[in-house]
């Protein structure tokens, strides 16, 4: 796993969106993310799909309790499910906006004249 915080690739963006930036505790392989990016061109939608994959991964694991340690894996399922929902919503909103020109509107002589 490699992560570049300057986000030069869509894979890095996906890793950032899902919080998988620590090489010591990789959640998804580069191949998995690349495969999802092949299906979903939008990095935010791809991140939502990856969050769904992680939610499914943690859904099958049960909570573990030891003498002094507890691992609530069901919380990870809920976290990634909610993250997927939020990322899908952000991707939908992101794609619905039309970029307007940064140029000021052009005013032509006589365009506001009312000849009634």
Q: What is the DSSP string of 81-103?
A: HHHHHHHHHHHHHHHHPPPPPSS
Give the list of residues 6+ apart from residue 97 with CB closer than 8 angstroms, or none.
none
Q: Residue 115 — very low, low, confident or very high, per pLDDT cuts 50/70/90? A: low
Q: Residue 47 — very low, low, confident or very high, per pLDDT cuts 50/70/90? A: very high
| pLDDT value of residue 109 | 58
Cut 0.85: pTM above it: no
- Buried residues in 27-62 as b, exposed as e (16+ CB within 10 A): bbeeebbebbbeebebbbbbbbbbbbbbbeebeeee
* Higher-confidence position of 97 and 38: 38
| pLDDT value of residue 102 | 57
Residue 70 pLDDT > 80, yes or no? no
Instruction: Please state the rounded mean pLDDT for residues 40-62.
Output: 92
Q: Residue 53 — very low, low, confident or very high, per pLDDT cuts 50/70/90? A: very high
């Amino acid at each position: 796993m490699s992560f570049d915080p300057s986000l030069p690739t869509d894979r890095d963006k996906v890793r950032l969106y899902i919080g998988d930036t620590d090489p010591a505790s990789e959640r998804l392989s580069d191949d998995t993310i690349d495969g999802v990016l092949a299906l979903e061109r939008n990095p935010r939608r791809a991140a939502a799909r990856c969050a769904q994959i992680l939610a499914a991964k943690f859904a099958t694991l049960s909570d573990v309790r030891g003498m002094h340690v507890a691992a609530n894996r069901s919380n990870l399922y809920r976290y990634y499910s909610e993250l997927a929902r939020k990322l899908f919503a952000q991707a939908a909103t992101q794609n619905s906006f039309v970029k307007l020109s940064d140029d000021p509107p052009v005013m032509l002589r006589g365009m506001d004249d009312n000849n009634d």
